[in-house]
Amino acid sequence: MTSTQNKFDYIIVGAGSAGCVLAARLSEDPNISVCLLEAGGPDKSIFIHAPIGLAAMLPTRLHNWAFKTIPQVGLNGRKGYQPRGKTLGGSSSTNAMLYVRGNKWDYDNWAALGNEGWSYKDILPYFKKSEGNAAFNDDYHNNTGPLAVSNATDASDINQMFIDACVQQGIKQTDDCNGAEQEGAFYYQRTIKNGQRCSAAKAYLTPNSTRKNLTIITHALTEKVLFEGKTAVGVRYQKNKKSIDITCNKEVILSSGAFGSPQILMLSGVGASEHLTEKGITPIHQLPGVGQNLQDHIDYIQTFKIDTKHDTFGYSVRGSLRILKSMFEWREKRTGKVTSTFAESGAFFSTQENLVAPDAQLIFVPAIADNHARTMNFGHGYSCHITLLRPESIGEVKLNSSNPKDSLAIDPKFFNHEQDMVILKKAAKKMQNILEASPFSAIRKEMLYLVENGNDEQLEKDIRNRADTQYHPCGTCKMGPITDDMAVVDAQLRVHGLEKLRVVDASIMPKIISGNTNAPTIMIGEKAADMILQN
């Protein structure tokens, strides 16, 4: 994956959820040449394609940037963990594969903030265009798009206990949280095809990688965008310790994610001039919103231990034998426990009446889930994540230095807004009631980290000791009208005040959505490709 060509119509920086979609859609026309640059390597590893391989990538540097935040006051001074995919497919190659779109209200709100063309009615066709759903084909779903979506085939029996417990606690059962109504308890649909992960790379790049007009360059770390005056004319990237310049006839498109895209803009001299000067970078364009408006889903997990005989994942002789057997099954038939993403069932619910959309999400895991799988616990258990869907705390990313290899200073400012703790505690109490409800009575043993049910002080202490991201940073190159001083791109995703430069990825979300962010970012890629081609 190298190239001697040095001029293309479009240069796309970052082969993640959005970048892969753009590369495939723009290169559908053989007369358009596209170069896709990716800092990570090819996506050949078995850990990417076998869904259960997530457990190997999440806690390690395997295809993972594995960033850390700066110490978080709201987390008792702890540094948060920020895994991000570093390979073709980006985070869609390392994520938990849950297919979730958020709520209709999220997109109507983006439009209400001054972003024409982004209401739910406007974006639904792009969700459908991307989707190849094996279970649904109706007003909300499509079964012919490239991104494979399917139901779990081998979910553990204890998920049914979770769903029964949710129903007992007043959450109705639903089979589609991405259809007419989001609220309810359900089995997650996943981006999996024939028992293998369907990343954005697998869906959009692999089938088109032999196109002559599509050049994919891996292990290429983009240093900066090259400008002539206020017009982007190309990029400089590093490969094999060399700096290489390539130029474009049409546009440079940054799709490097919520951390990569603002970092490249700032390294290129686009951002808050004072901050850039402080880091020794000559400002080219004053745009104070670059790196601001960081939003992320704060997430807290509770775990109960159970006996090893139950059908769950865990470190035990029985658990290891089960996995070993499943590996053979997966090798032969692509079925069995290896197709699990660990996150199997869940729910969306509201912590109070009359909210615009559910504000809490549950993700049930038939295993002991502790510290992003970085803390090993022997034995078996069941765990559940509770996620605050529309946090008010807003953070930022800044440069540590002008070196493109240096990571950013990531500051999500978790719990900076006091309301976030109030709502998360309320939602966590409901989760604990569910996990302690009678459907689990026959199997439930002690809690991994004890919180007495109803003890507010213990709960808050445990949240501050152990809560962290649910891996959805976004908003750092926010979309908004020119009248919004902190907007970085307009509704066509063009960088304000500059020519031939767009940002297309999760960083453009003006407000975090009420759900997981992979399908929405792929939708953003589909819509952007359409807008670019129409221009």
Where do contacts with ligand FAD occur on this chain (CB under 6 A)? 13-19, 37-40, 58, 83-86, 90-92, 94-98, 100, 221-222, 255-258, 260, 264, 471-472, 505-506, 516-519, 521
In angstroms, give the least distance from the CB of 209 to ligand FAD. Answer: 16
Asked if 89 contacts 196 with a C-beta cutoff of 8 angstroms, the reply is no
**b/e burial code for range 288-323 (CB count within 10 A of at least 16 → b):** ebbbbbbbbbbbbbbbbbbebebebbbebeebeebe
Pick the closer one to ligand FAD by CB: 219 or 461: 219
What's the CA gap between 79 and 60, in Å, rounded? Answer: 16
Pick the closer one to ligand FAD by CB: 13 or 272: 13
Write out the two tokens for 511.
């407000």
What's the CA gap between 396 and 486, in Å, rounded? Answer: 12
In angstroms, give the least distance from the CB of 452 to ligand FAD. Answer: 31
First-to-last C-alpha distance (Å) of the chain:
30
CA distances for 76 relative to 73, 80, 283, 425, 457, angstroms: 5, 11, 36, 16, 14
DSSP line for 389-420: SS----BEEE-S-S-TTSPPEEE--TT-SHHH
User: Is residue 297 annotated as a catalytic residue, yes or no?
Assistant: no
Pick the closer one to ligand FAD by CB: 159 or 432: 159
Pick the closer one to ligand FAD by CB: 19 or 289: 19
Pick the closer one to ligand FAD by CB: 78 or 472: 472
In angstroms, give the least distance from the CB of 57 to ligand FAD. Answer: 8
Task: Please state, as a whole number, how many other Cβ atoms lie within 10 Å of the Cβ of residue 275.
Answer: 17
Token pair 């919103």 in the structure block, residue? 289
In angstroms, give the least distance from the CB of 104 to ligand FAD. Answer: 17
In angstroms, give the least distance from the CB of 341 to ligand FAD. Answer: 7
Choose the catalytic residue: 141, 310, 380, 472: 472
In angstroms, give the least distance from the CB of 67 to ligand FAD. Answer: 10
Pick the closer one to ligand FAD by CB: 451 or 519: 519
Bridge partners (DSSP) of residue 231 are 228, 499
Three-state SS annotation for 327-344: HHHHHHHCCCHHHCCCCC
Query: Which residue is nearest to ligand FAD, using beta carbons?
Result: 16
Pick the closer one to ligand FAD by CB: 396 or 505: 505
In angstroms, give the least distance from the CB of 501 to ligand FAD. Answer: 15
DSSP line for 86-126: -BTTGGGGTS--B-----HHHHHHHHHTT-TT-SHHHHHHH
What's the CA gap between 44 and 408, in Å, rounded? Answer: 28
Pick the closer one to ligand FAD by CB: 54 or 451: 54
In angstroms, give the least distance from the CB of 204 to ligand FAD. Answer: 12
In 3-state terms, what secondary structure has residue 523? Answer: helix
What's the CA gap between 211 and 33, in Å, rounded? Answer: 10
What's the CA gap between 535 and 530, in Å, rounded? Answer: 9
Q: How many residues does the chain have?
A: 535
Pick the closer one to ligand FAD by CB: 33 or 516: 516
In angstroms, give the least distance from the CB of 433 to ligand FAD. Answer: 25
DSSP line for 429-444: HHHHHHHTSGGGTTT-
What's the CA gap between 21 and 36, in Å, rounded? Answer: 11
Bridge partners (DSSP) of residue 495 are 489
What's the CA gap between 309 and 321, in Å, rounded? Answer: 12
Show Cβ contacts of residue 228 under 8 Å, excluding neighbours closer than 6 positions. none
Q: Which stretch of DSSP H or E encloses residue 425?
A: helix 418-435
As annotated, the active-site residues are 472
